[in-house]
Amino acid sequence: MANASGDWIIETVGDGFRPSITVDSLGDVHISYARYDGSDLILTYQNLSKGDFYEVNLSERGYDEYQSGSLSIDSIGTIHMSFMEAWGGASSGDLVYGNMTDGVFYFETLDTAYDRASMAVDPNNKVHISYYSIALGGLFYLTNVDGTWRPPELVDNVGGQLEGMCTSIAVDSQYVHISYVGGDKEDNRYAKRGINDQWGSPWEITHIADGDFQSAGNSIAVDSDGYVHISYYHKQSETLKGT
């Protein structure tokens, strides 16, 4: 779906689930999604602007489930992906990161995540991931800003109903921005920290809205002026809100 002409145009680009979309610095549109071919789990990537099309058989790589996929293209055109090897929401599975080098996708398991995970790439082409961990107890953050993956860092303790534990991450040249839910009633929250802060540095946490024990989706973005925008579903009023 696009509105480049001023009107929304809907086009079928594939048959799959858990899609993710991003636009690179050249304005090219990229999507990723998963599908099943018989019992094989297939991950598909497309550059809709140039017609590039790649598929990788995740089952042959040892991955049999696909949840919470993220896609990002860095400043030199490298494709970055992350996903959870989990059957769906309210489940745990491996947190997997991958990128494409010389036309080949490479994947590695970083940790175990619960329910949702989100990935973003900063202007220096470093990767940032937010995710929930039942084993470690809270919302966690991973990055390779130093060139290798740092150990997981606790952003905030979370509690309440362990369903709909949604998070979204965005980065600019100075800060990491995370929207998420936490607390006994799963309030909507926002966390911010310097992009090059040392491991274990404190996060600045802001309360966005009261929760209602069970949360729903949220998404975060940062504009070119550094302003943060968050959209979330407010269960008490059953409305989509933004801030």
Confidence bin at 236 (pLDDT 50/70/90):
confident
The CATH number for 73's domain is 2.120.10.10
In a domain, 145, yes or no: yes
Contacts of 5 (CB under 8 A, 6+ apart): none
pTM: 0.92
> What is the arithmetic mean of pLDDT over 183-205?
89
Q: Which pLDDT score, from 0 to 100, does residue 158 have?
A: 77
In a domain, 86, yes or no: yes
Q: Which pLDDT score, from 0 to 100, does residue 85 have?
A: 93
Domain total for the chain?
1
Q: Which pLDDT score, from 0 to 100, does residue 181 have?
A: 86
Q: Which pLDDT score, from 0 to 100, does residue 159 have?
A: 60
In a domain, 91, yes or no: yes
23-75 residue pLDDT tens: 998 999 999 999 999 999 999 999 999 988 999 999 999 999 999 999 999 99
Range of the domain at 88: 17-242
In a domain, 79, yes or no: yes
Q: Is the pLDDT of residue 241 over 80?
A: yes
Q: Is the pLDDT of residue 129 over 70?
A: yes
The mean pLDDT value of the chain amounts to 89
